[in-house]
Amino acid sequence: MAESSRFKDSRWSLHGMTALVTGGTRGIGNATVEELAGFGARVHTCSRNEEELNKCLKEWEDKGFVVTGSVCDASSRVQREKLIEEVGSVFHGKLNILVNNVGTNIRKPTTGYSAEEFSNLLATNFESAYHLSQIAHPLLKASGAGSVVFISSVAGLLHIGSGSIYGASKGAINQLTKNLACEWAKDNIRTNCVAPWYIRTSLVEHVRFSNLPTVLFTYLQPLR
């Protein structure tokens, strides 16, 4: 495939840029990988499911995209550290874009959650994003033009019946975005948050869709 035919629009280019997208084999993560790769970025992604990951990597290769991947459970601290080590090796110590996309949910009344469910939801939705941003910081700073994108949810801004733990974890992501936008601006790292409404992914089933906005962009990086 000709180099120029891979990319969607010559006016937009991420050629030469590198990106890590967590949870890139399904839903929003999968679409994000394709968008970034479609604009010429080299992308690394991860999934807990090795078979699913290999299937996606083959499909992306057939499309002419430059995408690599790792098997990683983002809820595991040890596996997150291994992932960033691999990313640093693949991208030679520099990372331009980190998309913290991994998330999960268990819908129950607040009184019905177990301690294990509470820990699992917070570890997957919030701790993973916090820790990955923390340990990716040296790579983002070394790139000279870093960008962190958190995938949050409207549930972090108002009640939509998705469960109190899920909502709290996404609210924490929103606040973390604002903190890092200010703290890391000096390192030339932009930090933004995307808060989608319900999206048709494997995480959401049997949902009645409304005419509410699909995506809400929040907390853009302050000028510096």
**Residues with catalytic roles:** 166
**Count of Cβ atoms closer than 10 Å to residue 154 Cβ:** 21
Say how far residue 194 (Cα) sits from the centre of its chain: 10
**Phi–psi pair at 11, nearest 5 degrees:** -75, -25
Alpha carbon dihedral 112, 117, 122, 123, in 10-degree steps, equals: 180
Contact of 224 with 185, CB cutoff 8 Å: yes
* Helix or strand (DSSP H, E) at 38: helix 27-38
| 65 three-state secondary structure | coil
**Count of Cβ atoms closer than 10 Å to residue 176 Cβ:** 21
**Phi–psi pair at 108, nearest 5 degrees:** -150, 160
